[in-house]
Amino acid sequence: MNWNEIASVAVTLFFIMDPLGNVPVFNAILSKFDSTRRRRIMARELVLALLILFLFLFTGNAILGFLGLGQPSLSIAGGVLLFIISLRMIFPRTASHDEIEGAEDPFLVPLAVPMIAGPSTIAILLLLSSSQPDRMMEWSISLGLAWLVTTVLLVASPFLMRVLGTRGARALERLMGMILIILATQMLLNGIRDFVVSLPA
């Protein structure tokens, strides 16, 4: 078991889940609930997100085979999608008042999906499961570690907001976005390379 690879994938998934960027939105949506119900909702959404991510991790090959998708196309699409998400982390869009007020009981949406189990995270898991299906245990550990750290940060979000403040959290999110842009570019280049190699001579 390659623990260096597990740690690398876990860090990548953690960056994509973007818990620091999600802290203000989580607090805004859950602020109307009392502390007990807030904890119940957060636990429910985090567990739902984890189940959805594991579902895509273990059914990745079946999904790609059913849709007739190749690994180069998934790498290219994942790189483009991750690049867009990274830009949004660096140049964030503030959640509108209607989006926050409209979430009476945020069941599944928007906290579990797409804030934690977002399209970029799903794309990375599909790529991992399709490219190296013999290492599912390692990818499962990576996903579990990334989810665990994300859970700790989101549960401790009120304390983090007091310590870091809005500016501090935003600065860390932008730093994570810069790192993700580099990863997205590499993923895109790998997809293009695999596509060129697959072309007939």
Residue 51's pLDDT is what? Answer: 97
Quick one: average pLDDT of 123-151?
94
Residue 201's pLDDT is what? Answer: 61
Mean pLDDT score of the chain: 86
The residue to which tokens 């549960």 are assigned: 155
Alpha-carbon distances of 56 from 51, 92, 102, 122, rounded to whole Å: 9, 27, 28, 7
- The span from the CA of 64 to the CA of 100, in Å, is 35
Residue 56's pLDDT is what? Answer: 93
Q: What percent of the chain has pLDDT over 70?
A: 94
Q: State pLDDT tens for residues 25-46.
A: 788 788 788 889 998 999 999 9
Residue 89's pLDDT is what? Answer: 78
Residue 104's pLDDT is what? Answer: 64
